[in-house]
Amino acid sequence: MKLYISGAPGSGKSTLARQCAEKLNIPLTSLDQLLWSGEERRDEGEAELIFKKVLAQENWIIEGAQRREFFESAFFCADKIIILAFPKRLIFFQIISRWLKQRFNFETSSYLPTFRMLRLMFVWVGRYRQDIPFPEKQIILKNRKDKHEFLKEL
């Protein structure tokens, strides 16, 4: 099975992707981790090469909100495209909650939880594009109940 999970920052993509990966025993790739090696941004060519290796696998789960041109091929390859389309007020709450947990070391993150990063997350939510191709492959989850139902039926 090949699942692509998309949604605005703070929508719960990483959590849902981990839950799906555990339930299905399928490898998970985060586009954030693919683009970054620690605190260093990978060269585009290196990231694209790694991404092509992921797509060549028989089963995968990819999660992320980035829309780089070479990432678009994952939509074509995916069996299902899961879109987390939660209300913005819930996403903003989740961003603040996660940021506070990271800021006070209750949760780890791959980035430094600064005020600048918090502001950027709000900006990215506003810029997130939901115009994803292949509507016939899409499952749109609009709230937590939809998410729980999806996981139950998976």
Q: From the CB of residue 101, how many other CB atoms can be counted at a distance below 10 Å?
A: 14
Nearest in space to 92 (alpha carbons), one of 114, 121, 65: 121
With contact defined as beta carbons under 8 Å apart, do 34 and 109 qualify?
no
pTM for the whole structure: 0.86
Range of the domain at 91: 2-153
Report angle CA 98, 78, 71 to the nearest 5 degrees: 65
**What domain count does the chain have?**
1
Inter-CA distances, 87 with 61, 73, 90, 133, Å = 24, 27, 5, 21
pLDDT digits (tens, 9 = 90+) for 63-118: 988 766 767 889 999 999 999 999 999 999 999 999 999 999 998 877 788 999 89
pLDDT digits (tens, 9 = 90+) for 29-69: 998 888 877 667 788 888 889 999 999 999 999 998 876 67
Q: What CATH number did the domain enclosing 42 receive?
A: 3.40.50.300
Residue 67: exposure state from Cβ atoms within 10 A (0-12, 13-18, ≥19): middle
